[in-house]
């Protein structure tokens, strides 16, 4: 067996085989051992051994009997999710949202924490204190904590768990995963916030029915996450999807990256609110006021037909549509998902984006291409949990848990 051009060792074979079996049970359960063998092409003896390990560890359970065509009735197997918990952290610019999930992706408890620190050292200290406080608070509710996962804005090496860059503080190769593992003695996974959300959408949301998808999120900026063949597309450099820095207007506003007319200068909550303020200051008529032109108020006004709000959302949708069309022509996804507060005005927004797609995308790429809004916008840390889910399905965390049971 070869993997990545190298001869696979025994531990890797165990990891991959265990992942295949667990993934089939998770995605297709209730399922029998016979069906697992047929679908996985693994030997029945291997199936028996792996399922016995999973049963002993409590990661799967046997349920009702399945009818068979003859002989003994086949026992069905499903995953057991209630006894295993994950602390998922969505790290923002000034705060962290910490959520306790079980392995099914059900959010059990959630707490917000303020993290106003502006240095790497202070942020690290505050984050560790917040996680420790959260675990202490819900200690009696946690049966077995198997991982901590963190998603954040910036540049991240997800394999090493190193944060290379964050937009609001100066970091220098912040070994965040190592810090978490050493402090809490537990597996840790780190990922980029928007790419992690794209993965969560694939596992739990709008793109469960396709293997190739694109998620665009508009919040403090604009970013994208691409799912290719069911996996986050990262590339050799481990970071892709900076759609917010596609130039859509060479004569536009200067972006913090140094360029002019980046998508983020138009398609961000701040830019949208600022555009409305400027128009109101110029005397344009609207039910919006300078004292109340938040992104939520703008969307609500657009939904009620306020001309200024509609025109602003339509303008932002057009600019988004231009960048999205470029990405569609490059990646040819099966579905495009829009996320962020602006989706509250989705009727106006999606219509504007769709017009760009219809005019700028190759006809074969835009046919039967759904444009939808996220199903997960109000689940702040679900992207972080998706990193844990992936580590179970690819066998990395799964094999660690099975190894613990054999120690």
pLDDT at 240 over 90: no
**Which CATH number goes with the domain that contains 118?**
3.30.420.40
In a domain, 203, yes or no: no
Task: Dig out the tokens for 99 from the structure.
Answer: 């959520």
Whole-number Å distance between alpha carbons of 98 and 123: 15
In a domain, 369, yes or no: yes
Is 122 found in the same domain as 31? no
Lowest-confidence segment of 2-11, 236-245, 356-365 by average pLDDT: 2-11
pLDDT at 206 over 60: yes
Helix axes 193-204, 382-393, angle to 10 degrees: 70
What local confidence, expressed as pLDDT, does residue 199 receive? 96
Helix axes 295-303, 346-360, angle to 10 degrees: 80
What value does the mean pLDDT take over residues 84-99?
94
In a domain, 15, yes or no: yes
Is 221 found in the same domain as 317? yes
Is 220 found in the same domain as 324? yes
Domain membership of residue 316 as a residue range: 208-373
In a domain, 99, yes or no: yes
pTM surpassing 0.85?
yes
Lowest-confidence segment of 186-195, 227-236, 353-362 by average pLDDT: 227-236
Is 248 found in the same domain as 324? yes
Q: Express the helix, strand and coil content of the chain in percent, nearest 5 each.
A: 45, 25, 30
In a domain, 46, yes or no: yes
Say which residue, 117 or 315, is predicted with more confidence. 315
What local confidence, expressed as pLDDT, does residue 7 receive? 44
What value does the mean pLDDT take over residues 347-351?
97
What local confidence, expressed as pLDDT, does residue 404 receive? 55
Domain count, the chain: 3
C-alpha distances (whole Å) from 281 to each of 276, 277, 291 are 9, 6, 12
In a domain, 158, yes or no: yes
pLDDT at 204 over 70: yes
**Of the candidates 293, 288, 353, which has an alpha carbon nearest to the alpha carbon of residue 317?**
353
Is 98 found in the same domain as 45? no
Count CA within 13 A, CB hemisphere, residue 143: 11
Task: Dig out the tokens for 215 from the structure.
Answer: 């998620």
What value does the mean pLDDT take over residues 276-303?
93
Is 264 found in the same domain as 303? yes
Is 77 in contact with 60 (CB distance < 8 Å)?
Answer: yes
**Which CATH number goes with the domain that contains 56?**
1.10.10.10
Strand spans (E) along 158-212: 162-165, 187-192
Average pLDDT, the chain: 90
Whole-number Å distance between alpha carbons of 343 and 209: 21
What local confidence, expressed as pLDDT, does residue 68 receive? 54
Q: Residue 2: which pLDDT band, with cuts at 50, 70 and 90?
A: very low
Is 344 found in the same domain as 241? yes
Is 70 found in the same domain as 26? yes
Residue keyed to tokens 């059990």: 108
Lowest-confidence segment of 110-119, 299-308, 397-406 by average pLDDT: 397-406
What local confidence, expressed as pLDDT, does residue 374 receive? 94
What local confidence, expressed as pLDDT, does residue 1 receive? 35
Last residue of a domain, one of 13, 45, 79: 79
Whole-number Å distance between alpha carbons of 114 and 355: 41
What local confidence, expressed as pLDDT, does residue 256 receive? 83
Say which residue, 15 or 405, is predicted with more confidence. 15
Is 263 found in the same domain as 360? yes
Alpha-carbon torsion 118, 124, 130, 133, what sign?
A: negative
Whole-number Å distance between alpha carbons of 284 and 9: 69
> What is the percent of the chain with per-residue pLDDT over 70, rounded to a whole number?
94
pLDDT at 127 over 80: yes
Last residue of a domain, one of 18, 46, 79: 79
Is 234 found in the same domain as 354? yes
Q: Residue 116: which pLDDT band, with cuts at 50, 70 and 90?
A: confident
pLDDT at 88 over 80: yes
In a domain, 265, yes or no: yes
What local confidence, expressed as pLDDT, does residue 69 receive? 54
In a domain, 9, yes or no: yes
Last residue of a domain, one of 52, 79, 106: 79
Is 243 found in the same domain as 136? no
pLDDT at 70 over 70: no
Is 396 found in the same domain as 343? no
């Amino acid at each position: 067996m070869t993997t990545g051009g190298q001869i696979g060792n025994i531990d890797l074979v165990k990891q991959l085989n265990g992942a295949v079996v667990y993934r089939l049970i998770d995605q297709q359960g209730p399922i029998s051992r016979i069906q697992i063998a047929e679908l996985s092409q693994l030997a029945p003896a291997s199936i028996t051994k792996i399922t016995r390990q999973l049963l002993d560890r409590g990661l799967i359970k046997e349920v009702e009997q399945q009818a068979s065509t003859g002989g003994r009735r086949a026992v069905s197997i499903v995953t057991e999710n209630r006894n295993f918990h994950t602390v998922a952290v969505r790290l923002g610019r000034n705060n962290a949202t910490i959520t306790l999930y079980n392995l099914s992706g059900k959010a059990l408890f959630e707490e917000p924490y303020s993290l106003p620190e502006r240095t790497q050292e202070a942020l690290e200290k505050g984050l560790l204190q917040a996680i420790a406080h959260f675990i202490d608070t819900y200690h009696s509710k946690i049966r077995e904590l198997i991982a901590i996962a963190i998603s954040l804005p910036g540049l991240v090496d997800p394999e090493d768990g190193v944060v290379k860059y964050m937009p609001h503080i100066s970091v220098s190769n912040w070994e965040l995963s190592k810090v978490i593992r050493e402090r809490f003695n537990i597996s840790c996974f780190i990922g980029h916030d928007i790419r992690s959300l794209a993965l969560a959408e694939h596992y739990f949301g709008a793109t469960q029915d396709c293997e190739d998808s694109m998620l665009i999120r508009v919040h403090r900026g604009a970013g994208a996450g691409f799912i290719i063949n069911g996996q986050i597309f990262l590339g050799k450099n481990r970071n892709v999807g900076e759609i917010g820095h596609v130039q859509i207007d060479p004569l536009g506003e200067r972006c913090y990256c140094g360029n002019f007319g980046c998508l983020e200068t138009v398609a961000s909550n701040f830019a949208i609110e600022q555009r409305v303020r400027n128009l109101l200051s110029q005397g344009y008529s609207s039910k919006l006021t300078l004292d109340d032109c938040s992104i939520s108020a703008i969307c609500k006004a657009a939904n009620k037909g306020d001309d200024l709000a509609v025109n602003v959302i339509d303008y932002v949708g057009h600019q988004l549509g231009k960048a999205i069309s470029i990405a569609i022509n490059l990646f040819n996804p099966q579905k495009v998902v829009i996320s962020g507060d602006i989706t509250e005005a989705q009727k106006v927004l999606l219509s504007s984006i769709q017009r760009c797609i219809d005019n700028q995308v190759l006809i074969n790429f835009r046919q039967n291409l759904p444009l939808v809004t996220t199903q997960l916008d109000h689940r702040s840390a679900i992207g972080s949990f998706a990193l844990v889910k992936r580590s179970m399905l690819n066998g990395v965390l799964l094999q660690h848990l099975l190894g613990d049971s054999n120690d």
